[in-house]
Amino acid sequence: MGGLTREALAERAGVPVDYVDRLVELGILVPPETGSLFSEGDFRRARLVRGLEEGSLPVEAVGAAVRKGDLSFGFLDLPSWDWYGGFVGKTYAELSAETGAGLELLQVIRESMGFARPEPEDPVHEEALDLVPVVKIALDAGADPVAIERLVRVWGESMRRITEASATFYHAQIEVPLLRSGLSEAQVLLAANEAVAAGIPYIDRALVSMYQGQSEHTWMANVVEAVEATLDKAGLHHTVAEPPAMCFLDLSGYTRLTEERGDEAAAEMAAVLGGLVQRSANDQRGRPVKWLGDGVMLYFAEPDGAVMSALELADRVPAAGLPPPHTGIDAGPVIFQDGDYFGRTVNTAARIASYGGPGQVLVSDSVVRSSQNPAISFFDIGLVELKGLPHPIRLHRASRDA
């Protein structure tokens, strides 16, 4: 992108033109030479300083620190900062008239991303534009606006967690070591940004690739379930004489605990849980397939092994100082592809786990029918409606005989 006139800089930064002049007077912006233009770094400096001022930091003091050399915003000239956009020079009311998208919907999009609800005359930020076509396509396809809003909120919350984890990593692994080395705050800002600049161009691609990988997995699971349902209706889906079992184990209250104790505590809990699960699963002819943040999905060659492992972990996990787990198990045919398992059995086990309470091991009818271990007892809970399953299923609570 070329240079910016005084007016264009103000528009992109979302500030009045005289604010640009004020920053020049304070020495925060260097006036361009005759015939030249402001840079992209200048736009970012104007936007950042306006944000600092709105956060109650006096802009005069910021200017004084810059003039003395105690503070520098030179890092904003790095190409890596091109990643972040500005305002697009139109208000939400104008964007609504231009695109035909309702003003209320545009306001909800921004709010759903996790930001304050904009007023009709507020300027539109660049990233909001990228969501408008997606939302319009969904609406044209007949999707419920409320469901669209929920989806965008999930996207926004997920992005918030990713960026917060990245910021924590950046501070602990880049900034703190530089500060300890004796650099000033101004030197750290420049050196730390230079250190990560090389990786910035690859982050978009990496995140998109991760999303595409997860998307392929999810859609493959949907396809497998659709094929199974079709075979069922045609009377071609046969039961397996000795079915394997899928098990989902989740920690109760994990999200609340990690929010209270932080990322280090979460990593510690995950490491302890990993060791316990790995040993127990190996002893029962099972193996962890994938870790899910607050739990794990496991495959077992036979249902009794899954139940015995889950019952052991129901005792061992709290004894290790972790929150009690809740576990769901289903037995039946599964599809194995690219190191992962798909199918109705996987989905049912996950839904059962979500229904279970702390310390409970809940299983389906098929697990009970397949069980041959006299050391395991099952207590009928009855028919239960589980979210995401078309029909109620009968559940049982497993326990070990004394």
The answer on 367 and 336 residing in a single domain is yes
Beta strand ranges found along 174-294 (DSSP E): 245-251, 286-291
The answer on 165 and 64 residing in a single domain is no
Q: Give the domain CATH number at 25.
A: 1.10.1660
Output the pLDDT for position 318.
Answer: 93
The answer on 266 and 375 residing in a single domain is yes
In the chain, % helix, strand, coil (3-state, to 5) comes to 55, 15, 25
Is residue 234 situated within a structural domain?
Answer: no
Q: Give the domain CATH number at 374.
A: 3.30.70.1230
Is residue 235 situated within a structural domain?
Answer: no
The answer on 106 and 194 residing in a single domain is yes
Is residue 270 situated within a structural domain?
Answer: yes
Q: How far apart are CA 192 and CA 188, in angstroms?
A: 6
- DSSP per-residue codes, 315-354: HHHHHTTSPPEEEEEEES--EEETTEEESHHHHHHHHHHH
Which of these three, 38, 58, 83, is where a domain ends?
83
Q: Are 148 and 156 in contact (CB under 8 A)?
A: no
Output the pLDDT for position 293.
Answer: 66
C-alpha torsion sign, points 356, 357, 363, 365: negative
The answer on 109 and 75 residing in a single domain is no
* Neighbour order of strands in the sheet with 376-384: 286-291, 295-300, 245-251, 325-331, 361-364, 393-400, 376-384
Where does residue 202 rank: exposed (0-12), middle (13-18), buried (19+ CB within 10 A)?
Answer: exposed
355-378 in b/e form (b: 16+ CB < 10 A) is bbeeebbbbbebbbebbeeeebeb
State the virtual CA torsion across 298, 304, 310, 313 in degrees, nearest 10: -110
Nearest to 122 by CA among 259, 257, 14: 14
State the virtual CA torsion across 142, 148, 149, 152 in degrees, nearest 10: -160
The answer on 65 and 160 residing in a single domain is no
Is residue 178 situated within a structural domain?
Answer: yes
Is residue 232 situated within a structural domain?
Answer: no
Q: Are 228 and 237 in contact (CB under 8 A)?
A: yes
The answer on 95 and 74 residing in a single domain is no
Is residue 237 situated within a structural domain?
Answer: no
- Domain span holding position 159: 87-198
Return the structure tokens found at 299.
């495959």
Strands 245-251 and 325-331: antiparallel
Crossing angle of helices 40-54 and 6-13, rounded to 10°: 50
Is residue 165 situated within a structural domain?
Answer: yes
Q: How far apart are CA 116 and CA 204, in angstroms?
A: 25
The CA-to-CA distance between both ends of the chain, in Å, stands at: 74
Residue in this structure with the two tokens 């703190």, named with its chain if needed: 176
Nearest to 86 by CA among 119, 41, 118: 41
The answer on 363 and 252 residing in a single domain is yes
The answer on 193 and 179 residing in a single domain is yes
Which of these three, 41, 67, 83, is where a domain ends?
83
Measured in whole angstroms, the distance separating CA 230 from the mean position of its chain's CA atoms is 33
Query: Tens-of-pLDDT digits for all 402 residues of the chain?
Result: 468 898 988 888 888 999 999 999 999 998 888 778 898 889 888 988 888 887 788 889 999 988 988 888 888 887 767 666 677 778 889 988 888 778 887 887 777 766 778 889 988 887 778 888 888 888 889 988 888 888 888 888 788 778 888 888 888 888 888 888 988 877 887 787 777 777 777 887 888 888 877 777 676 666 766 776 676 677 665 555 568 999 999 887 666 666 666 666 777 777 888 889 999 999 998 999 888 767 899 999 899 999 999 999 999 999 998 889 999 999 988 877 666 788 889 999 999 999 999 999 999 999 999 999 999 999 999 999 998 888 899 999 999 875
Q: How far apart are CA 395 and CA 355, in angstroms?
A: 10
Is residue 216 situated within a structural domain?
Answer: no
- Hey, is 110 helix, strand or coil? helix
Which of these three, 182, 198, 214, is where a domain ends?
198
Return the structure tokens found at 5.
């006139």
The answer on 95 and 33 residing in a single domain is no
Return the structure tokens found at 207.
């995140």
Report pTM. 0.55
Q: How many domains does the chain have?
A: 3
Q: How far apart are CA 112 and CA 135, in angstroms?
A: 12
The answer on 164 and 47 residing in a single domain is no
The answer on 392 and 255 residing in a single domain is yes
Number of other CB atoms surrounding residue 84 within 10 Å: 11
